[in-house]
Amino acid sequence: MTDALAIALARAGSKGLPRKNVLDVAGRPCVAWTLDAAMTAERVSRVVLSTDDADAGEIARAMGVEVVERPASLAADDATVDAAARHAAGAIGGDPIVILYANVPVRPVGLIDRAVELLVESGADSVQSYARVGKHHPWWTARIGERGEVSPWEGEVLNHGVYRRQDLPAAYVPDGGVIALTRRALMLEVAGAGDGPHAFFGVDRRGIETAEGEVIDIDGPVDRLVAAGSLTTEVAESTEGARRGKQRGLVSEDLTREVIGAGIEVHKALGPGLLESAYEACMVEALVARGLGVASQVALPVSYGGKTVGVGYRLDLVVDDEVVVEIKSVDALAPVHRAQLLTYLRLSGKRIGLLMNFNVEKLTDGIVRRII
């Protein structure tokens, strides 16, 4: 299975809605929703944020996401998306690559994985998500003259002779949900792709469809309200409980920030190279010192056929009965470690997990956050 590098893009400047990437949307900074989508994608192995916004960078680091500082030349109004993504990918590597806009807080679950899977299976240069056009269909586009006279935008017949929406042929527009592409395409190395602004999509371009309202791109104040309403509804209907539900006075994002902060303290004191048991014991002390409830080596019964068949696993740490923390001291985190964390979350009924590898020079390089 090929796993992708996800690059989230968060430029500080915005004329339609200033600083939209860090504004509150349904109780969280807008950029946090995109980072969560990337971190919970099965086909993504690494997530980075490219930004010139110090606040966005701070939010990302608190979530365990590494940050690529974007130079001013790539953060101006005339800077292109692909140039910023190339800068980040050039500094890090990775293939294939997923580009995500930080100002898109609403995406359907599995969208990123669908794009990566189609890219890999088809051998295409790029895959982009598209939404079906509704009443703003190109066939219904018209021109209005100086005296108010109406004429077709193209052709000789107004509305192409079609007056019922259901009779319109399918038409699609990019919705900003996801772009997955090969490294060669992003680096403009695909022969025949041309020199235009979309050359980074390569030659073989594929699309996946999203349903109406599944992707919400925030460009102005109204979009922000619509996104907040959509996310609030999703939270209210969730069988797992409110995403932002409080636990001991801390919302989930604050709680994971506390856990990561404790981990950084332990890593600074001990350094890399020790046994996992040493880091676990010190993490318990550090978390208790922060006033958090901690349970270690929590038994995780396994059920099959409606019966409990024994204790199959033990969770390293459970913080405030909400966050599962798995501690590693390995050369590098492997896909099986990420899969194991997701399995633990599903079996335990918890929604948030942190995978922390202490055998690194910088702890934030060894943290994976997952939400289900």
- Residue 145's φ and ψ, nearest 5 degrees, are -80, 180
Q: Where are the alpha helices (DSSP H) in the chain?
A: 30-39, 54-62, 81-92, 111-122, 183-186, 221-237, 252-270, 276-289, 335-348
If asked whether residues 117 and 48 sit together in one domain, one would say: yes
User: Of all residues in the chain, what percent carry a pLDDT higher than 70?
Assistant: 91
- Shared domain for 30 and 165, answered yes or no, is no
Say what the pLDDT of residue 248 is.
38
Is the domain of 217 the same as that of 87?
yes
Q: Are residues 200 and 290 in the same domain?
A: no
Indicate whether 242 pLDDT > 60.
Answer: no
**How sure is the predictor about 4, in pLDDT bands with cuts at 50, 70 and 90?**
very high
Looking at the structure, do residues 225 and 267 belong to the same domain, yes or no?
no
What is the pLDDT at residue 330? Answer: 94
pLDDT tens, residue by residue, 255-282 = 888 898 899 999 999 999 999 999 999 9
| 324 pLDDT above the threshold of 60 | yes
158 plus 293 within the same structural domain: no
CATH of the domain at 200: 3.90.550.10
Identity (one letter) of the amino acid at 155?
A: G
> If 0-12 CB within 10 Å is exposed, 13-18 middle and 19+ buried, where does residue 127 land?
buried
- Does the structure show a pLDDT above 50 at 320? yes
Is the residue at 159 inside a domain?
yes
Same domain, 333 and 211: no
In a domain, 244, yes or no: no
Q: What residues pair up with 67 in beta bridges, in sequence order?
A: 49
Same domain, 211 and 64: yes
Question: How many domains does the chain fold into?
Answer: 3
Q: Is residue 298 part of a domain?
A: yes
Whether residue 358 has pLDDT greater than 90: yes
User: What is the pLDDT at residue 86?
Assistant: 94
H or E segment and range at residue 151: strand 150-152
The pLDDT value given to residue 311? 59
Look up the domain containing 62 and give its range. 4-133+173-236
In a domain, 241, yes or no: no
- Kindly state whether residues 291 and 210 are assigned to the same domain: no
Confidence label for 306 from pLDDT (cuts 50, 70 and 90): low
16 has pLDDT over 80: no
Establish if 306 belongs to a structural domain.
yes
328, exposed or middle or buried, with CB in 10 Å at 0-12, 13-18, 19+? buried
Please tell me whether residues 199 and 325 are part of one structural domain: no
Q: Do 279 and 307 sit in the same domain of this protein?
A: yes
CB within 8 A of 218, min separation 6: which ones? 17, 20, 25, 30, 103, 104, 105, 224, 227
Quickly state the pLDDT bin for 40 (edges 50, 70, 90): confident
Residue 247 lies in a domain: no
> Residues 329, 307: one domain?
yes
